[in-house]
Structure 1
Amino acid sequence: MFNLFKDESQSVNSFFLFMQSLANRNLVAEALKVSEAKYRSLLENMGLGVIYLSNAGTVISANQVAGQIMGLPLNNMVGRALTETCSRIVKEDGSVLAHEQHPAMLALRTGKPVENVVMGLFNHAQQDHTWVMSSSVPEFLPGEREPHQVFMTLTDITRRKRVEEESSLASVIVNNTGEGIVVTDQDNKIISVNPAFTILTGFSRQEVLGKRAHCFQSPKNAIKIDEALRNSRKNGNSWQGEIWHRRKNSDDFPCWTTINQVKDATGRTTHHVYVVMDITHLKKDQNRLGFLAYHDPLTKLPNRMLLKDRINHALQNARREGSQVAVLFLDLDRFKIINDTYGHAVGDGLLKEVATRIKNLVRKEDTVSRYAGDEFIVFMEDVSDTKSPATLARKLIETFNIPVEVKGHTLQVTTSVGISLFPRDGDDSDSLIKNADAAMYRAKKEGRNNFQYYRPELTTQAFEKMAVETELRQSIDKRELVLYYQPRVCLKTGNIAGIETLVHWQHPVMGLIPPARFIPVAQESGFILALGEWMVEAACRQMRCWLDERVPVNKIVVNVSAFQLLRSDFLATVERILREHELSPHCLELEINESSLMDNAEHIIKALNGLADAGMDLTIADFGKGYFSLINLKRIPAKKLKIDRSFVSEMLCNSNYEAVIRSVIALGNSLNLQVIAQGIESEAQKDKLIEMGCNLGKGDFYFPPALPDAKNLTKLMS
């Protein structure tokens, strides 16, 4: 019994001991749960990112802050390798941090803490880097030498980092900007300057610290710094404007100065910031632009804007005092030929010399203006009598009798001058200039190199000329130009030796206009170039038609101007037209008037030789009216001379004209040139020319000019 009860007693004791042990375990487990909850709460509320890594680099656990820094949910982090949770980590210099150099990996590998490492972790949610201060502490199990995990903390320093970067960038900008920057305290005493300020003024930093900002202000200022500061308070704490400053060497220089007030949280001004930009070059450019706005950049003479302003101002005085003023309008004769021949550099040099010569002749109170191109105006105030402008005009014309040397070229130019007077010829600047211009064109019409006073009828003529020029430029597009054709014959046999062309203008209102009325306008306006090319093309097209129709024509003759010959592409243009119409160069003969050879002879002779080398015949037309050098005539590869019609028409009743014709024929024979007489109107003229030895001729006696489809022209050529 005793043993029985003894065994039962032991069992009961064991049972109670077991129950007590179980209760203790539950208490421990409950305590652990409480401790873990407190620990988790601590981790979640400590404001740091916390990550536990295994010794294999796998995330064991992390708090919400760490997830926010990484931009990942926690369930996407736990159980994954560190390299998977953050694919790209960068150092402060922007270079990529290698995985093995990660602070946590270093702590695992070395067993030592790695603290306060700054790095950028790629945030998946923001798709940008979050900057952190990271520390990694290895943890060991008892008796172990190798860490079994790493405790890593992450402090988000992105905002601080950006502030530092912005501050650093601001410092770099301030120290490297080209503008001087001065910072003063509330009493306007200098506490800081940047390097640009010391370069700009010559004052070192030590020389200006503690001094008031007025120390580098120039005495020539229209506005003082104190006044600018007061204005900055009125204008929203900022002011900007031009202030002259002083360099250390006492030189004054203009600056565009900006003054800003810096205030604290209470609104009290604590500092002033001056930004100073040297505008010396801008002021020079501004002055230069101001000059160019009223002056010609080439000659430095007043332009038309300043000229009109001075005329209008002078007219007010003239009306009040009852005095006269005069406008002299000058235009260089044949300037375009010089410009096209020698180039714009020579042309510009000529214009500058012209400006100098004009200025040397006028009074101090007179205004000389380059009005446009090769046009100059002299404006004379307080003219004592109407003869004074004429006296000046003669001097201006005479001054150009002396050749002009430009870039190794000797140039001979003349000028035509038109004069208008106030109040007789106009009451405002525009009228006076317009009427002087009309008088100048009258001077050109009278033979150039002279002056003319304005007459009322000149205005009508000028408007008519302008209207003709405008309509003439449209004549090609409107197909108003037509070529008339006139046979050239052998005087002895009567056989046709070629067909000459003559351009007419079929005007829709004025009817058929002969070339003598519009060719001068075409030459003055420059339209002669387009007109001349049209004539060559139209003549070659007609020649092609005649050849296709088997009309016995072996040569067609076209008159060309000096303007065409001076173009570098003229030969190429003629050759292109010949190719387009499948014509041999021997089918085309080109005429140039003797008077055209007197200007720019060298260039024209060169062009004529090029045409002759290409296979075209050349004729010198209207020979005997000009004064072309016989030496130059021998240098021209011409095959024919054409006597002007005025000599032919008068030769039977004027022995002098007959003598001229005999001289031209004799000259032609001596140079192996055929001589052509034009304007033959009677059999007596024909017989006389044959008796004098003339080879060829044309005129109404044989055949008047006609259109190509005229029956009599076709009959004659067939």
Structure 2
Amino acid sequence: MKQEKELHMISDVENFDCPKNIDFLENDDEKYRYIVEESIVGIYLVQDEILTYVNPRFAEIFGYERKELIYKKIMDLIYEKDHTLVRANMNRRLKGETNSLRYEFRGIKKDNTVIEIEVLGTQIIYKGKPAIIGSVMDITEQKENSEQLRMAQKVFENTIEGIVITDNKGIIQMVNPAFTNITGYTSKEAIGRNPRILKSERHDRLFYQDMWDSLITTDSWKGEIWNRRKNGETYPEWMTISAIKNDYGETTHYISVFNDITEHIRKEEHIKHLAYFDALTGLPNKFLFGDRLNLAITHAQHHKHMLAVMVLDVDRFKRINDTLGHAVGDMVIQTVADRLDRCIEDGDTLSRLGGDEFMFILEEIKGIQDVIKVIHRIFDALSCPLHIHGHEFHITGSIGISMYPNDGKDLDTLVKNADTAMYRAKELGRNNYQMYTPAMNDNAIVRLTMENDLRKAIERDELTLYYQPKVDIESGKVVGAEALVRWNHPERGRISPGEFIPLAEETGLIEPLGEWVLRQACCQIRQWQDEKGYDIYVSVNLSPRQFQNRNLVEHIMDVIAETEVDPKYIQLEITESCAMENPDHTIHLLQRLKEKGFTFSIDDFGTGYSSLAVLKRFPIDMLKIDQSFVRDLTKNEDDKAIVLAMISMAHSMRLQVVAEGVETSEELSFLMENHCDQLQGYFYSPPVPAEDFEKLWEESINLHDLKVE
């Protein structure tokens, strides 16, 4: 009964005014009531799920005034999903299954905020009925802190960064799994030891002194550092060290977080390599070449030395790419680069600027003789044939040279002048070198102007075709013609084909120019057939660059379809050297065109390096004896013997023979006596416009009356 009385007394909330000092309380009831009222935990009394008493702290926890909570349903303060849990525990206590029970549930404050509650309750008898009295504590912050600690632990254990915690004396207290993954040391091996076990010996004492100075003055340090793994391998880290202080500002621990940046540095180095080195050959590219040349110029200027800049361009490299593809072309460039690299001294530079162009910097040379020695080594290195994928290549190069300080005192001038000299080397037949001279600039300007004008010549209708008759020697009748392009420049007048054809070949303009020639020739054949009834064939030259175009057959057939000319009236001429450069490609291409109805002749026969075993496989119809043999055949016994051999060989292969460059009656007599089939040359007619050719055709029926004197 005493317990029941006491509970009745503390539930009288309205009439109790707490004193300031418990010593003034006159009896135990007042003391108990004071303790309950002033408790830092929430105290409650609940009966039939109705609150009958709460102390101030309980009301504060749930955000209510005390008056609002008296006779309030306890379940109104409990998160709905926890109702079952709370009821079950309350029933267990009311039934006497347990004297007291501690557990956690989620509460609802007056503002609907969810809070975490820890409750300790016990069963009592209040006013003759079972009730529960207990205490509650708001453990929301504690739970949040616990969750944060749990998350921090998870981060600590699962982060990919290595973490080391030391005491203020630098002794390792804790490491995470990533530390072990990176360094190879287990936590057992590391804890209790100094981080010096990771020291790589790559940094001097001053490095570590600066690190500690930063920690002492700023409480942190960060930077790149090289450490050593347990297996002895050194590796780079990006590390951050922070000082941990207590509430009194005293450093208690240091925490170090680090990343293994080996892969990052490797990628940076790779990117740097790509930025400054050629991906195909590994040689310095144009950017690094420029840096090195500027440094070389500064060094030469300071020490009064000479230096040389050389440009090397691989001759006719585009044919390899066009014929065999870029994969083979790349292997050729790699092989050439390797050979060139072995030709220079340490301290000199070989660079690939792209395509088939290489540049050299030769430093501290004494004179041009030092440069020529290097050039001879280069030509010797390139002279050996290359064998790639079953193909044999004979590589040559054209080299241009400029010298510091005579030919320029800055990068742009030296490179420009070396480039100009290289183009001069190409103009002189390739496979040679040229020193820069000031006159070359004038030639380069003329050449550039001509190139620009040639690009516009077709659309401006400045080009025309001339036709040189091909005459049957036995009958004296014109049987065909060779179409030859002529350029009538509006300012310079007639420009020799010897000037603009090589330029067109070198710049790639030969392809649109060659297609224009073929189209014009076909149009002329169509006109002669429709208007004059001529039954005549016209030969058209294919340049080496055209011949290496993979789409040449398609381009030719497009012109044939457009002009509606039977291919049997077109004879395609290719040079001997072009045909023999890649015989398999030549045979394949000629066979495809042969199936369409075209005929073929080999031009300049005898000037190249033909293999008769290969030549007999070509589906050709005619050999043209080069004029260099015809010119002296009446004076030079060797030339006479060569011409006789060519005629005999061609006839044995069932080929016709045409001699070009015939200019005298003596030459004609020799060719007639030895059964040459056709002639072409100034003895009969130079190349003439179409209207003049028509007159020659009409008159040719009288050529059999031609008397040889």
Q: Do these two structures clear the TM 0.5 threshold for a shared fold by scoring above it?
A: yes
Q: Could you tell me how far 1:636 is from its partner in structure 2?
A: 0.9
Deviations 1:521-557 (A, max 9, x none): 2222334344434544555566667777786466554
Partner residue in 1 for 2:447:
465
- Letter of the structure 2 residue corresponding to residue 444 of structure 1: K
Residue of structure 2 aligned with 1:625, choices 593, 604, 607: 607
Q: CA deviation at 1:256?
A: 0.8
- Hey, what does 1:353 align to over in structure 2? 335
Deviations 1:643-664 (A, max 9, x none): 4455666767878766655554
| Counterpart contact for 1:184–1:190, Cα < 8 Å | yes
Name the counterpart of 2:214. Answer: 231
Task: Map residues 383-532 of structure 1 onto 2, 5 A cutoff.
Answer: 383-473=365-455, 478-479=459-460, 482-486=463-467, 488-491=469-472, 497-498=479-480, 500-505=482-487, 507=489, 509-532=491-514
Paired residue secondary structure (2:581): coil
Q: 1:45 deviation in Å?
A: 4.5
**Distance across 2 between alignment mates of 1:186 and 1:196:** 22
For residues 428-470 of structure 1, the C-alpha deviation after alignment (integer angstroms, 9 at most, x for no partner) is 4443443333333333333333333333222322343344345
CA drift of 1:385 comes to 4.2
Kept in 2, the 8 Å contact 1:103–1:117? The answer is: no
Distance change (3 Å), C-alpha of 1:215 and 1:691: closer
Match 2:619 to one of 615, 634, 637: 637
State the match for 1:9 in structure 2: none
**Cα drift, residue 278 of structure 1:** 1.4
* Contact kept in structure 2, 1:420 and 1:436, CA below 8 Å: yes
Deviation at 1:685, TM superposition (A): 7.3
Q: Secondary structure at the match of 1:619?
A: strand
Q: 1:224 to 1:653 in 2, by over 3 A?
A: closer
Deviation at 1:638, TM superposition (A): 0.9
- Report deviation, 1:254: 1.7
* Pair 109,116 (structure 1): closer, same or farther in 2 beyond 3 Å: closer
Does the 8 Å CA contact 2:221/2:242 hold for their aligned counterparts? yes
SS in 1 for 2:264: helix
Q: Give the direction of change, closer, same or farther, for the CA distance of 1:482–1:162 in structure 2 (3 Å limit).
A: farther
> 2:371 corresponds to which letter in structure 1?
P
Aligned to 2:553: 571
Greater CA deviation, 414-423 or 112-121? 112-121
Q: How does 1:255-274 map to 2 (within 5 A)?
A: 255-263=237-245, 269-274=251-256
Which letter maps to 1:484?
A: L
Alignment correspondent of 1:4: none
- Partner residue in 2 for 1:55: none
Farther off after superposition, 562-571 or 658-667: 658-667
420-429 or 490-499, which deviates more:
490-499
What amino acid is the match of 1:486?
Answer: Y
Query: In structure 2, what is the Cα distance between the partners aligned to 1:689 and 1:102?
Result: 122
| Aligned position for 2:178 | 196
The answer to whether the 8 Å contact 1:504/1:515 transfers is yes
- Residues 569-648 of structure 1 aligned to structure 2 (within 5 Å): 569-645=551-627
Deviation at 1:180, TM superposition (A): 0.7
Q: Is the 8 A contact 1:501 1:556 kept in 2?
A: yes
2:6 aligned residue: none
Q: Structure 1 stretch 696-705 or stretch 107-116: which is displaced more? A: 107-116
TM-score, scaled relative to structure 1: 0.71
Identity %: 35
CA distance in 1 between partners of 2:607 and 2:440 (Å): 28
Match in the other structure for 1:706: 689
Aligned 1:634-713 pairs, distance under 5 A: 634-645=616-627, 661-678=643-660, 692-697=674-679, 701=684, 704-706=687-689, 713=694
SS at match of 2:320: helix
Work out whether residues 119 and 131 of structure 1, in 8 Å CA contact, stay in contact via their aligned partners in 2: yes
Conserved? CA contact 2:580–2:586, under 8 Å: no
Contact conserved, 1:553 with 1:717, CA < 8 A, in 2? no
Distance 1:290 1:632 in 2: 49
In structure 2, the CA distance between the partners of 1:333 and 1:712, relative to structure 1 (3 Å rule), is closer
Of residues 594-603 and 193-202 in structure 1, the stretch that sits farther from structure 2 once superposed is 594-603
**Structure 1 residue 283, shift from structure 2 partner:** 3.2
CA distance in 1, matches of 2:282, 2:625: 48
1:180 aligns with 2:141: no
Q: What does the per-residue CA deviation read over 1:317-336, in whole Å, with 9 as the maximum and x for residues that have no partner?
A: 54555544334433333333
Q: CA separation in 2, counterparts of 1:484 and 1:571?
A: 22
Question: Alignment partner of 1:424: what SS?
Answer: coil
Q: Which digits, 9 at most, give the CA deviation of each residue in 1:256-289, with x for residues without a partner?
A: 1122344566665554332111122333444455
**Partner Cα distance (2:455, 2:155) in 1:** 62
| Partner residue in 2 for 1:208 | 190
Question: Aligned partners of 1:690 and 1:350: how far apart in 2?
Answer: 48
Provide, for residues 180-228 of structure 1, a one-character-per-residue CA deviation record: whole Å limited to 9, x for no partner.
1122344444332110101211222123324444443333225645633
Q: Would you say the 8 A contact 2:471–2:480 is kept in 1?
A: no
Q: What is the alpha-carbon distance in structure 2 between the residues aligned to residue 158 and residue 567 of structure 1?
A: 81
Distance 1:621 1:351 in 2: 30
Structure 2 counterpart of 1:558, from 517, 540, 545? 540
* Alpha-carbon distance in 2 for matches of 1:193, 1:553: 97
For 1:329, what is the secondary structure of its paired residue?
Answer: strand
What is the alpha-carbon distance in structure 2 between the residues aligned to residue 551 and residue 119 of structure 1? 110
Q: How many matched pairs?
A: 629
Q: How does 1:7-156 map to 2 (within 5 A)?
A: 45=59
Q: Deviations over 1:297-323 (max 9, x none)?
A: 444444444445444444455455554
The alpha-carbon distance between structure 1 residues 168 and 108, as it changes in their structure 2 partners (threshold 3 A), is closer
CA RMSD of aligned residues (A): 5.1
Per-residue deviation, 1:637: 0.5
Structure 1, unaligned runs of 5 or more:
1-30, 51-59, 70-81, 83-88, 90-96, 138-153
Task: Structure 2 unaligned segments of length 5 or more: list them.
Answer: 1-11, 13-44, 65-71, 122-135, 700-709
Partner of 1:16: none
Residues 215/624 of structure 1: CA separation in 2 closer, same or farther (3 Å cut): closer
**How far apart are 1:354 and its partner, in Å?**
3.1
SS in 2 for 1:462: helix
Q: Which residue of 2 aligns with 1:23?
A: none
TM-score by structure 2 length? Answer: 0.71
1-structure distance, mates of 2:115, 2:350: 73
Q: CA deviation at 1:619?
A: 1.8
Offset from partner CA, 1:335-367 (integer Å, 9 cap, x none): 332344344444333334334434444444544
Helix, strand or coil at the partner of 2:616: helix
Deviation of 1:104 (Å): 8.8
Partner of 2:36: none
The residue that corresponds to 1:77 in the other structure is: none
8 A Cα contact 1:499 1:553, kept in partner:
no
Specify the code of the residue in structure 2 equivalent to 1:326. Answer: A
Is this contact kept in 2: 1:44–1:63, CA < 8 A? no
1-structure distance, mates of 2:297, 2:53: 101
Q: Alpha carbons of 1:401 and 1:695: their partners in 2 closer, same or farther (altered >3 Å)?
A: same
Supply the distance in 1 between the matched residues of 2:170 and 2:329 (Cα, whole angstroms).
Answer: 60
